[in-house]
Chains A and B, each alone.
Chain A
Amino acid sequence: MTLLKDIRNSMPRDQVWPFLIEKRPPKIDASHRVLLYVEGLSVSFDGFKALNNLNLYIDDGELRCLIGANGAGKTTLMDVITGKTQPDEGEVWFGQTIDLLGKKEAEIAELGIGRKFQKPSVFEAQTVFANLELAMRMNKSIWPTLLARLNSAQSDRIAEVLGVIGLTEHSGLLAGALSHGQKQWLEIGMLLVADPRLLLIDEPVAGMTAQETERTAELLTSLAGEHTVVVVEHDMEFVRSIARTVTVLHQGAVLAEGSMQDVQNHPAVIEVYLGEDS
């Protein structure tokens, strides 16, 4: 009878087997206001320092603009945060408790960090709708994906995002057939359906018309608060229209930080920019 007992003990009624429990991302603790800590970060490629002892703190709910000349290290910084590149030195924390270094890309995405790439990267051989469906926040392991059916809340969410990004009419079109600006919007839409806590957005308005740019600015400002948004952009007009705090990167380190006005009047920034111009 001990066998029976063993079997019974292995199936306690008040518990669920661990593999049946749905995985939930750990709670992100931003109780000290800061959501993203980047400290002493250095990355070098063949001896060239793309990031050089960089420090950056992003508050929860903030909209932060990162600016800097070509090659300043903006994209590299995003690569490190999202797990694509491992740094030589430094630390990256998401909230108080989650160390991002050493984590894989998928794991970081699951924690709620979404990314839009500098070069629009959507799945061109698939429809606009499928692109959004793929990006949607849901269980991304194999079996659930095989059996996935969109429930009505999810379909509604996709329809809503399609509306926001102005692609409702194109939902059945292949993403490869979209214009450059529309691809940028689709990629932003892919971020929205994933509903991330932190959005890293690399050059969102490149290739957009003035009107599209304006709409993007509105969208990003409306996201801040509930989400935390970090935007890299070269278009100063655009930065001016959305920025509250601006961080200037130069040669892999922070050169200046503050409001747009502060930054523009900052002696170091003036020196670097004027120095480069002349």
Chain B
Amino acid sequence: MTSSALPAPLTGRVTALHELRARAPLFLAILFATTIAASLGNLLFPEDSLFHVSTYTITLLGKYLCYALLAMSVDVVWGYCGILSLGHGAFFTLGGYALGMYLMRQIGDRGVYGNPELPDFMVFLDWQELPWYWAGFDQFWIAALMVLLVPGLLAFVFGYLAFRSRVVGVYLSIMTQAMTYALMLGFFRNELGFGGNNGLTDFKDLLGYNLQADTTRVGLMFASAVALGLAYVISQWMMGSKLGRVIIAIRDDEARARFIGFRTENYKIWLFVYSALLAAIAGALYVPQVGIINPGEFSPVNSIEMVVWVAVGGRGTLYGAIIGAILVNYAKTRFTAIWPEAWLFALGALFVGVTVFLPQGIVGLFKNRLAGRAT
């Protein structure tokens, strides 16, 4: 009754949570229909068939899915809790390195120097034995554990220090940038034992499967889709629960949330850890598909790019972040093929344009359209 007198965007947002709940089956259907069709197209149809999907496309799709998961991890903290992290690349890259270390150990004596124990770059540096922190990385389960443990721990320590001291806003964003920048400088150094500026590469196989094989490629792409789907459902469940409402309350008025009894610091710390874990899983799935991980991934620009994906897609909806990541990366793939030097400028322009004209991103545009038509 009174609601019809309200401006459309306001009433439109009333049902945001219900809408989100209704979107999960649709999202999963699109995700798996696309990935299954692409997989079948690659594995079943011969190259000259109309329905053939190239392995290049499969890998590209897998990469986009990892970016989508990464974008979602940014949305969880930024869109829902107002924590603008400009350092999420750090968690992504650490996850990638942890799996990369396993892939390095899998090479065994098939490296250029044929050393069964040491990765090539260590032989090159004249190292005699594996550093202690490489121990165990020949075991997949240990590597998988480290994919979660290392970024999770970093996020916890960072969050504990920052949120407990009530650092917010720009200061927090700068701290996250500094974190990823410091890691980048560290990983560039050869002495650290992660391959210096070349990073980790020349991977051969994963769990015994040849990384160059089509089936492995399809499998990895599919694993990325499963990870994205699971993360989406879990995140959506979290954000639709009372926990999600507390997180949104913290975003909109943290002081008020404290006065009704929520220890907001704890909520922020654990949300940050959860988000870092999603980013780390994305990184771990990304590395075997692109075949390399190097310190460049820690670069602050990368982390800013992730924020742009989310801004373009639309904050605080999860699927907006996914749409943004895929669209911007598709544009990037196209753009850099034509005019690579100009990409950063295009990205900057995109960010400014979206901030000014589409504060709620692409998703917001469609939502307003729909709400506008309804009245």
Contacts and interface: CB of A to CB of B under 8 A. Distances in A.
A and B: real partners? Answer: yes
Interface of A: 82, 84, 104-106, 109-110, 114-115, 117, 121-127, 130, 133-135, 137, 140-142, 145-148, 169-170, 172-174, 176-177, 190, 194
Contact of A169 (B1, B238, B253, B262): B1
Given A125-B13, A146-B241, A141 B249 contact: no
A121 B255 CA distance: 10
Given A84-B255, A123-B249, A123-B256, A148 B241 contact: yes
Nearest to A117: B256
Contact of B258 (A104, A169, A172, A173): A104
Given A190-B260, A194-B261, A130 B245 contact: yes
B252 A140 contact: no
Given A146-B238, A146-B243, A177-B10, 5 more contacts: A105-B259, A134-B242, A142-B243, A145-B243, A145-B246
8 contacts: A104-B258, A125-B248, A133-B242, A134-B257, A146-B241, A170-B2, A174-B11, A177-B3
Interface residues of B, number: 31
A133 B192 CA distance: 51
B264 interface: yes
A124 B264 CA distance: 18
B14 interface: yes
B248 A126 contact: yes
B247 to A, nearest CB: 10
A106 B264 contact: yes
Interface string B1-36: 111001000110110000000000000000000000
Contacts of A114: 259-260
B242 A145 contact: yes
Contacts of B245: 126, 130, 133-134
B263 interface: yes
B242 A148 contact: yes
A146 to B, nearest CB: 4
A177 B6 contact: yes
B252 A123 contact: yes
B206 to A, nearest CB: 34
Contact of A105 (B10, B258, B270): B258
The B contact surface, by secondary structure, is helix
B242 to A, nearest CB: 4
B267 interface: yes
A137 B260 CA distance: 9
Contact of B267 (A123, A142, A177): A142
Contacts of A130: 245
B2 A135 contact: no
B336 interface: no
Interface in B216-271: 238, 241-243, 245-246, 248-249, 252-253, 255-264, 266-267, 270
Contact of B10 (A117, A169, A176): A176
Contacts of A127: 14
B263 A134 contact: no
Interface string B254-296: 0111111111101100100000000000000000000000000
Contacts of B3: 173, 177
